[in-house]
A and B are shown apart, each in its own frame.
Chain A
Amino acid sequence: MMWLYHPLQIPLGLIVWGVWFIALYSGLSVGCAVAPPDAAAGPWNWLNAVLGGASLATVGLLLGLSTLCWRASRRVGKNERAKRFIARVGASVHLVAALATLFIALPIVGLPPCV
């Protein structure tokens, strides 16, 4: 589990969030250009389902990574402060990224995608 103490854990959660955000916006644009769902159907259509599913999967991944980092931070010895710092910051960043994903994705359940 040494990878949980790697310094890349510090920005990783937000990198995952960034990739998700690009996929969300470009997926919406491409979906609307290729096969726009009927606006009358409201938010319940194939495109919103795909975007919502991908968002929930991302939230799950980020929460899982956050938990792993947090557990890793509790396993380190007293003299391994650098490791603990990385794991704790990583856990916090993953958690923040999960919350950001959830909040930004919320409009999927309320708005049709292409109008």
Chain B
Amino acid sequence: MIEGRPDELHQQFDEVWGNPRGWRAATIVNHTRIGLLFLLTGLGFFIFGGLLAMLIRAQLALPDQTFMDADTYNQVFTMHGTVMMFLFAVPMMEGLAVYLIPKMLGARDLVFPRLSALGYWCYLFGALILAASLFLELAPDAGWFMYTPLSSLPYSPGVNSDFWLLGITFVEISAVTAAVELVVAILRARAPGMTLQRMPLYAWYILTMAMMIVLGFPPLILGSILLELERAAGMAFFDVARGGDPILWQHLFWLFGHPEVYIIFLPAAGLVSTMLPVFARRPIVGYRWVVVAVLTTGFISFALWVHHMFTVGIPHLAQAFFSAASMLVAIPTGVQVFSWLATLWLGRPVYHVPMLWLFGFLVIFVAGGLTGVMLALVPFNWQVHDTQFVVAHLHYVLVGGMFFPLVAAVYYWLPHFSGRMPSPRLGRWGFWLVFGGFNLTFLVMHWTGLLGMPRRAYTYAPGLGWDTPNLVSSIGSFIMAIGIATVLVDVLLHFRFGVRAAPNPWHADTLEWATRLPPAAYNFISLPSVDSRYPLWDRPDLVKEMARGEQGLAAIAHGRRETWGTDAVTGEVREIIHLPGNTWLPFAVALVLSAVCIGLLVKAYAVASVAIVAAAILVLRWSWENGAHEEGGTAVPISAGDPPLHWRTHNGPGRWGMGVTLLADGALYAALLFGWFYLWTVAPQWQVPAQSPLDARGMLANALLLTVATLWLRRVLAALRRGSDGRLRGQLAAIAALGLLQSAHLLWLMHASGLVPKATAHDAVIAVVLGYTLFHCVLAGVATGLQAWRVHYGYVDRAAPYEPIVLGQLWYYNLGVVWSAYFALVLFPSTWGGG
């Protein structure tokens, strides 16, 4: 539909979508701005982490250096690893995906823009808290994987480890929110006609990465919560004397930590699979096999975690399983490499600066992958464990597999950020300096490791054969730093001197090049229909048609932010997703959460408690401004013939978002149950009381009470789906009351159990399981009460049935949690010799 001339349309869209300036810029929720903020903040932390790396190399350049003492060195190398992994690599990759995915899918925004904004502010505040620790000389110093018991209170009595545990958990909220957002956007907000097999490969990579974050980050979040509870509240989880086990931390960390490598690599490989065919001027070879390889890499990467623990005394057969899986993961990665090589071989490649970085990626990443296969072999792994060889390997994989494609991507998408083209000359200088410096640093470091130099040693004596290779590595690292500085200068200069970019300057196939350069906040005036995998190659006129408003959803007089909601498989239009506008809420929630974080850090628990209550109130307010609420511009009806707004349906993106969030939640809960069974099975001094502290009948009654409430809600939802909303408010209020009654009963059961979580790991784990259950049940009860209130205001009824249906999933989830807790905590111990 066309409502006016393109310029007028742009003006009208700007009125609805435009970004405010000044201090009100903190209210922006638009994905383009949020993505850019992620990228710029990630760049800042990359420079910070890089400077720490320079300090490390300066210290190790010569033997017996006193440039840094051991304590400072411990803080510096811990922060280097932490910053690069958590504050640079993951946010950078997610930020780029947040920026690119809606544009590539032909959408105007991600499906939960306020969640994107919350993710960014949580990332920024958490990262600043963590970075501040270094300037206070209180930075974490137990290594980036924070092994217990070194990171436990007896060996790390200061707040150093607390900074890591609280700061990283805060940052991880950001990673998980962005992942939920990306999964649902890819599945439910693609351009009409963009079936699964027409999705850009980058979307497959990001879908896989995001699902890996959803399932992979929660074990570490749980581990961090448990370790912080042990440090701050004296509960027992990793303390052998009280029935805990420090190896449990290693399992929880590496359950996250190994997938993390692929969480970083896969989106980078997605960038390669996007850019390389453009420069080869032909479609990628073996699209379907690449999809299969990406999925396989994502899954198998979860079965490798124990290869980080080959030296802790696990049976040989178990080591062999993980060794085999570690070798196996090279195969799907190899499929992708051969696909890229075949694409180059069969194409007509043109060479621009991004291609240099792609070649650098291929060389370095393949070398890193090969040393990875070496490390998968148990005997070799034992030999080089904790040596500089491992440091060299991980830098080959991570710098080769992530940094090189990232720089290629920055050059490739520069016209998006500035509207200008990069300079070829300075870019080449930058590449060769980085490539040469990198190999000088880390190729030599393999030999330093084979010569026996351990990692994390703050200095070394002369005459051990490590002097020369360390000096060469340090020289190389400074050459690399000069190269990175050259790239940064090149990027900065291009904003002033770069040639203006023509539309679609690289002749790419994907829809992000159909925007203006730089793009407007709403991406497209009208949203395209797609009938091929390469829309801009097959329909070059599409760009102009979209800009003239000749494609779909070009109406804007209603004042709503809208994008298409489409079927996950067929890409057929199902609804109009009604997106929220700019708001202070995400910024305020993140700010209050950072107060919680700081309150816990300085042990000002009253402050933390007040902040938690404030955060809860803000989140409830956030949920209030939804759906039929007048803030969203609901007064003007949709145009005739258009599909309904999503909150008038039963299956909008919120339902999918709740499902994916509960997957993450379930991963955390599964990791908790894993911890329970793990400690029960292998903790060296596991202590089980003769009599279970839990009231078995009370627990059963509690589970039955929740079952009754959930079944009642199910009936209400079924009626709502049929179009009946009779006594809806009263029924929802009663169900909420029943849920809160069940929560109160659970609280009483906890109190009556007389658990002593400081005494044994047994009681500590039970306390956490019950606390987790209680939190979820209270949440469901309160949210359902809020729904009853919204019925009163007319925001929820048979014409707007969406929200209770979304909420229903939480009740079903809670039912699963309560019953599984009953089986794990009550029935299992009685059959396995406890209680």
Which A residues contact B (CB, under 8 angstroms)? Answer: 7, 10-11, 14-15, 17-18, 21, 24-26, 28-30, 32-33, 48, 81-82, 85-86, 88-89, 92-93, 96-97, 100, 103-108, 110-115
**Which of B288, B300, B569 contacts A88 (CB under 8 A)?**
B288
Q: Can you report 25 A-B residue pairs in the complex whose CB atoms are below 8 A from each other?
A: A7-B569, A10-B295, A11-B299, A14-B296, A14-B299, A18-B302, A24-B321, A25-B321, A28-B315, A28-B318, A29-B681, A29-B682, A32-B315, A33-B681, A33-B682, A48-B317, A85-B197, A86-B569, A89-B288, A100-B300, A100-B325, A100-B328, A103-B328, A112-B316, A112-B317
Considering the chains assembled together, what is the distance between the CA atoms of A21 and B302 in angstroms?
10
Residues in B lying within 8 Å of A, measured CB to CB: 195-197, 288-289, 291-292, 295-296, 299-300, 302-303, 306, 315-318, 320-321, 323-325, 328, 332, 568-570, 677, 681-682
Complex Cα–Cα for A24 and B321 (A): 9
> Cα distance A63–B195 when bound, in Å?
27
Tell me whether A82 and B296 are in contact in the complex, defined as CB-CB below 8 angstroms, given that A104-B324, A108-B317 are known contacts: no
- Which residues of B are found within 8 Å of A104, using beta-carbon distances? 303, 321, 324-325, 328
Chain B positions within 8 Å of A111 at CB level: 316-317, 320
Cβ-defined contact, A17 with B299, below 8 A:
yes
Chain A residues whose C-beta falls within 8 Å of the C-beta of B303 in the assembled complex:
18, 21, 104
Main secondary structure of the interface of A (DSSP, over half): helix
List of A residues within 8 angstroms of B302 by Cβ:
18
A7 near B315 (CB under 8 angstroms)? no
For A28, the chain B residues whose CB sits under 8 A away are 315, 317-318, 321
In the complex, the number of residue pairs spanning A and B with C-beta atoms less than 8 Å apart equals 94
What's the nearest-Cβ distance from chain A to residue B385, in Å?
20
A115/B316 in contact, CB under 8 A: yes
Contact of A30 with B315 at beta-carbon distance under 8 Å, contacts A82-B195, A106-B324 already known: no
Given contacts A28-B315, A85-B195, contact A107 B320 (CB under 8 A): yes
* Distance A105 CA – B289 CA, assembled complex (angstroms): 24
Inter-chain contacts of B291 with A (CB < 8 A): 89
Task: Assess whether B195 is in contact with A81, with CB atoms less than 8 Å apart.
Answer: yes
Q: State the CA gap A92–B296 with chains docked (Å).
A: 10
Complex partner residue of B292 from A96, A106, A113, CB under 8 angstroms = A96
Chain A residues, CB < 8 A from B570 = 82
**A29 and B296 alpha carbons, distance in the complex (Å):** 26
B635 CB → nearest A CB, Å = 37
B-side contacts of A88, CB under 8 Å: 288
The 8 residue pairs across chains A and B that have the minimum distance between CB atoms: A107-B320, A85-B197, A14-B299, A111-B317, A104-B324, A82-B195, A92-B292, A33-B681
In the complex the two chains form, what is the Cα distance from A31 to B323 in whole Å? 20
Nearest CB of chain B from residue A90's CB, rounded to whole Å = 10
> Which of B315, B324, B568, B681 is close to A113, meaning CB atoms less than 8 Å apart?
B315
Q: Least Cβ distance of B190 to chain A in Å?
A: 12
Q: Which residues of B contact A97 (CB under 8 A)?
A: 296
Shortest C-beta distance, A80 to chain B (Å), equals 10
Known: A33-B682, A93-B292. A82 touches B316 (CB 8 A): no
A25-B318, A28-B318, A86-B196 given; A92·B299 CB < 8 A:
no
**How far, in whole Å, are A106 and B682 apart by their CA atoms in the complex?**
25
- List, in ascending order, chain A residues with CB within 8 A of B295's CB: 10-11, 14, 93
Chain A residues, CB < 8 A from B196:
7, 10, 82, 85-86
CB distance from B378 to the nearest CB of A (A): 11
The reply to whether B292 and A89 contact each other, CB–CB distance below 8 Å, is yes
Beta-carbon contact of B316 and A103 below 8 Å: no
Min C-beta distance of A39 to chain B, whole Å:
10
15 other A-B residue contacts (CB within 8 Å) besides A85-B197, A92-B288, A104-B328: A21-B321, A28-B321, A30-B681, A82-B196, A89-B291, A89-B292, A93-B296, A97-B296, A100-B296, A103-B324, A103-B328, A107-B321, A107-B324, A111-B316, A111-B320
B315/A81 in contact, CB under 8 A = no
Q: Which A residues are in CB contact (< 8 Å) with B321?
A: 21, 24-25, 28, 104-105, 107
